[in-house]
Amino acid sequence: MRAIFRNKLIIIGGAIILVMVFLVAFAPLLTSYDYGKVDLRNKQLPPGAGHIMGTDAYGRDVWTRIVYGGRISLVVAICSTALALVCGTLLGTLSGFVRGTFDFVLGRVIDVMMAFPMLLLSLIIGIVMGSSVRNMFFSIGIPIIPMFYRMSRATTLSIRERSFVAAARSMGSGRFRLIFRHVLPNVLPHILVILSSAMGGAILAESSLGFLGYGIPIPTPSWGLIVNDGRNFMFTYPWTTAFAGAFIALTILGFNLLGDGLRDHMDPKIRTSMK
Amino acid sequence: MATGIVTGAPAGADMEDMPLVSMRGLTKKFSLRAGKSLRKVRFTAVKGIDLDIRKGEVFGLVGESGCGKSTLAMLILRLVSASSGSVLFKGEELTGLSYRKMLPLRKDMQVVFQDPYDSLDPRFSLEQIMAEPLAIRGGYSKSERRGMIADMLREVGLGEELLSRYPHQLSGGQRQRLCIARSLILSPEFLVCDEAVASLDVSVQAQILNLLLDLKEELGLTYLFISHNLAVVKFVSDRIGVMYFGSLVELAETEELFRNVKHPYTSALLSAVPDPDPTSTKQREILRSGVPSLMSPPGGCAFHPRCRHADERCAREEPQLRDTGNSHFVACHKDVGGPA
Ligand SMILES: Nc1ncnc2c1ncn2[C@@H]1O[C@H](COP(=O)(O)OP(=O)(O)OP(=O)(O)O)[C@@H](O)[C@H]1O
Ligand code: SF4
Ligand SMILES: [Mg+2]
């Protein structure tokens, strides 16, 4: 377990994510403004002493909106990706392991899901289920399932042919043990590689949905919403979009570094060579 | 013994005389999608094998790549199920046994595969690898496990300092020793070695072969030793079966086989073994065409498109394995013998 702290990618990526989590968790302590309070006399102030990241077109403090908005963006991204990871990886591994009818039927369902553009699928699910934070998990998470499904199924297909699986079977290992002790642990590193892009995709999906008016219905802003608020004034007053965009980019970077680092850490070949 | 009655072995038959493994008409058909078409093609990878492996012997199985050696091994271990025919292990019918009923027998039959790296889960340390058979079997205390693992590692010549290593940190020879140790830790009676030395350096091959032979003597094991290398099979085996295209074509004690080669395919295999004596005048027999496709098997004797001695009867009629005396069995219409 010590070795995990020797991995620079994990340290940097983890630090970025930790800072983000810290910021959104302690949002009320980090600002004295109200994220929804309109003040048209002080609109579009550049970053300065009173408002460190300036104010938006309605005179709302951008820093306040970003730390509060991050709560929604992060929670939605993490929960929807976690949902997709668990469902996609379990189904994909099972599909690749048992093959047959189960695999065939599930494979066609996944094909149909992939025939839709991700955002459209999100919209349809969002509209059908109605808008709420919990339903956002589904409308963003479900379209990501195929990504995890396909990766884990393909990896499982190659792992189940390896001799160590046959060796375990010859010792009398049951399916449950084969899947959870041998196949899944060898699938997971491949999943981690796509985890970061899935997380980034989820953050972007959330902001796109917000922009289209199908986002979170409560008055709390999200990062996507803040970017889109500033979009109309991009060339005359870029601060709002720039700050919110930077937070989105930095968070995606953090997830990427963390994902790559964890993948290296889970590979004994790389882990032991770093000792 | 109850199983004796089931198999019809004469009452009071000496256990030593009862074969450890018996195959009767053992057949495996696979279906594969041919090329890009949706149509599935069925082909026979193992074809009506009748064979007894005696307790305590090393039975060598040779044949070209793709002739069905590994499939036969998997059938015996019941890692694939037979299309027809049966396998008896210690007199007990394995074909059709449920997964659960098969479990207690698994401990008695183990396997060592060709590629030791592929046979070891890269995420398991050496200790975890050795502990797995014990964990699956269950009922061992922690100290019992530790003792068994230490004993077994010593047996195969691996030091305890390697316990925390991962497979990629071992040499090829060490990995194969580990595979052997893992397969023997539950004290099986029967060990299948499927090309167990083929992926190793020549110098390491000899070490592993000697280790296997020593362990056999010490632990009273029975081996099915599979290889495409006749020299290796000759070195370890008491008896040899030659397989071609899913069938046994020749079967005899090792000495008898090499003294008195009868099947044209065996003599072709033999001539392919490099002769270390540079003054030897041995002629290499060149086989006429490549291996025929399993998808469209030739009629009659499967070997006839490549056989020097083939005639019109060979193309028509499939030869059956027949006893030519001296427990030497051959599946060939002619009595050609090896090259003089
Ligand atoms: N699961 C399977 N599905 C379909 N075909 C298979 C399967 N397993 C083996 N075969 C085919 O059966 C034939 C015999 O294969 P097998 O692995 O038994 O050969 P082998 O004698 O062990 O060869 P090698 O020396 O290369 O290991 C081959 O043509 C192979 O492609
Ligand atoms: S039966 Fe005929 S074709 Fe087959 S091995 Fe004998 S001689 Fe050759
Ligand atoms: Mg093989």
With a cut of 50, say whether residue A154 has pLDDT above it. yes
**Domain residue extents for chain B:** 2-237
What's the pLDDT score for residue B47? 94
Query: What six digits make up the tokens of B29?
Result: 């058909």
With a cut of 60, say whether residue B339 has pLDDT above it. no
Report the topology of domain B2-237.
Rossmann fold (3.40.50)
B contacts of A166 (beta carbons < 8 Å): 74, 79, 111, 113, 119
What's the pLDDT score for residue A72? 87
Sort residue B246 into left (φ over 0), alpha (ψ -120 to 50) or beta.
left
Q: Between chains, do A170 and B110 touch, taking CB under 8 Å as contact? A: yes
pLDDT in tens, B171-201: 999 999 999 999 999 999 999 999 999 989 9
Residues A106, A111, A112, A114: what is their CA dihedral angle, to the nearest 10 degrees? 130
Q: For the residues B305-313, what does the mean pLDDT come to?
A: 89
With a cut of 70, say whether residue B274 has pLDDT above it. no
Which ligand sits nearest to residue B245's alpha carbon?
1
Q: Between chains, do B136 and A272 touch, taking CB under 8 Å as contact? A: no
Q: For the residues B8-12, what does the mean pLDDT come to?
A: 42
Which residues, 6 or more positions from B35, have their beta carbon under 8 angstroms from its beta carbon? none
With a cut of 90, say whether residue B236 has pLDDT above it. yes
Q: For the residues A229-236, what does the mean pLDDT come to?
A: 83
| B172 class by beta-carbon count within 10 Å (0-12 exposed, 13-18 middle, 19+ buried) | middle
What's the pLDDT score for residue B295? 72
B303 lines ligand 2 (CB under 6 A): yes
Task: Name the percent of chain B lying above pLDDT 90.
Answer: 69
Range in A83-87, A233-237, B3-7, B323-327 with the lowest mean pLDDT: B3-7
Which residues, 6 or more positions from B253, have their beta carbon under 8 angstroms from its beta carbon? B238, B239, B240, B326, B327, B328
pLDDT band at A218 (very low <50, low <70, confident <90, very high): low
With a cut of 60, say whether residue B32 has pLDDT above it. yes
Task: Name the percent of chain B lying above pLDDT 70.
Answer: 86
Q: Using most ligand atoms within 8 A of CB, pick from B267, B285, B334 the residue to mutate for ligand 2.
A: B334
With a cut of 70, say whether residue B289 has pLDDT above it. no
Collect all residues from B whose CB is shorter than 8 A from any CB in A: 74, 77, 79, 99, 102-103, 106-107, 109-111, 113-115, 118-123, 132-133, 136-137, 166, 168-169, 179, 182-183, 186
With a cut of 80, say whether residue A6 has pLDDT above it. no
Helix (H) or strand (E) holding B225: strand B222-227
Select, from the ranges A5-9, A105-109, B272-276, B313-317, the one with the highest average predicted confidence (pLDDT): A105-109
- Counted across chains A and B, CB pairs separated by less than 8 A come out at 64
What's the pLDDT score for residue B278? 54
Nearest-5° angle of CA B11, CA B13, CA B19? 125
What is the SS3 assignment for B67?
A: coil
Task: Name the percent of chain A lying above pLDDT 90.
Answer: 48
With a cut of 70, say whether residue A274 has pLDDT above it. no
pLDDT band at B2 (very low <50, low <70, confident <90, very high): very low
Range in A193-197, B224-228, B298-302 with the lowest mean pLDDT: A193-197
How many angstroms separate the Cα of A200 from the Cα of each of A79, A196, A204, A250, A252?
13, 6, 6, 10, 5
Q: What are phi and psi of A257, to 5 degrees?
A: -65, -45
Q: For the residues B136-161, what does the mean pLDDT come to?
A: 94
With a cut of 50, say whether residue A89 has pLDDT above it. yes
Q: For the residues B144-156, what does the mean pLDDT come to?
A: 95
Q: Using most ligand atoms within 8 A of CB, pick from B303, B308, B320 the residue to mutate for ligand 2.
A: B303
Query: What six digits make up the tokens of A65?
Result: 């909106």
What's the pLDDT score for residue B3? 36
Which residues, 6 or more positions from A245, have their beta carbon under 8 angstroms from its beta carbon? A227
Range in A20-34, A75-89, A229-243, B78-92 with the lowest mean pLDDT: A229-243
Closest ligand 2 atom to B249 CA: 5
Range in A122-136, B210-224, B317-331 with the lowest mean pLDDT: A122-136
Q: Residue B248's closest CA among B27, B21, B80, B17?
A: B27
What's the pLDDT score for residue B31? 87
Q: Between chains, do A186 and B122 touch, taking CB under 8 Å as contact? A: yes
pLDDT in tens, B114-141: 999 999 999 999 999 999 999 999 899 9
Provide the domain count of chain A. Answer: 1
CATH of the domain at A196: 1.10.3720.10
Read out DSSP for B183-222? Answer: HHTT--SEEEEESTTTTS-HHHHHHHHHHHHHHHHHHT-E
Complex prediction ipTM: 0.86
A contacts of B186 (beta carbons < 8 Å): 171
Are B16 and B218 within 8 A, CB to CB? Answer: no
Select, from the ranges B6-20, B34-48, B232-246, B296-310, the one with the highest average predicted confidence (pLDDT): B232-246
Rounded to the nearest integer, the mean pLDDT of chain B is 87
Q: For the residues B67-75, what does the mean pLDDT come to?
A: 96
Closest ligand 1 atom to B68 CA: 18
Q: Residue B172's closest CA among B141, B146, B201, B213?
A: B201
With a cut of 60, say whether residue B275 has pLDDT above it. no
Q: Which residue has the tokens 């090792």?
A: B254
**Span from the CA of B45 to the centroid of ligand 3 (angstroms):** 12
B contacts of A263 (beta carbons < 8 Å): none
Domain of A120, in residue numbers: 2-273
pLDDT band at B279 (very low <50, low <70, confident <90, very high): low
